[in-house]
Structure 1
Amino acid sequence: MQDLTQLTSAAKQVSDLYARRFGVTRDAAWYLGKMTEELGEVTSAYLSLAGQTRKDGSKSDLENEVADLLGFLLLFADWQGVDAGAAFERKWGAYLTEDK
């Protein structure tokens, strides 16, 4: 299993390829827009899988969209200088230590 640092590095490599291939300028609108777009696609894939749309969905479709959302979240965090793993441990991990 890869850690978030490795996943972020892979996401940056793919993002660099995408930006060169399509002439994309990665700015706030791009990072935020892509995360929003991918969240919509996760929602759509889930609803299709759950039989709540006219289109039949698959678990693979949902997994692919979750992967896209995670990739863009990692890119956004990196762009903003946020260590997503450390932030997660600090924020969510605090709940694990409250009861001890």
Structure 2
Amino acid sequence: MRAPLPLPSDPADVEFWVPPFGTVGRGADLLGRMPGLRVVQLLSAGADAWAGRVPAGVRLCDGRGVHDASTSEWVLTATLAALRRFPAFARAPSSAASGSPTRPRRTS
């Protein structure tokens, strides 16, 4: 049996709830303890796992588009890091005599 989700306050007082990511089963169990609930806002783009679990009259909102900007920034940063060999730089010793892992290799 999984441990119940920690609650910062009385669930009966909740009107707008953002369940922790990846807690469909345990999170859905709490819905019956939230009689004043009006909105469930998910952090993920898909809401299929929650469909049918949310009580009638409660609006279910997915997180479609919420992560677009941060994902784009991460992809750009990861691409630049790979092109500049940042992982090699991070693993290299901090000695100037060891050479510069950030210098691009010459291809010709």
Smaller-chain TM-score range? Answer: under 0.3
TM-score (norm 2): 0.25
More relative contact order in 1 or in 2 (CA 8 Å, sep 6+)?
1
User: Which one has the bigger strand percentage?
Assistant: 2
Q: Please say which structure displays the higher CA radius of gyration.
A: 2
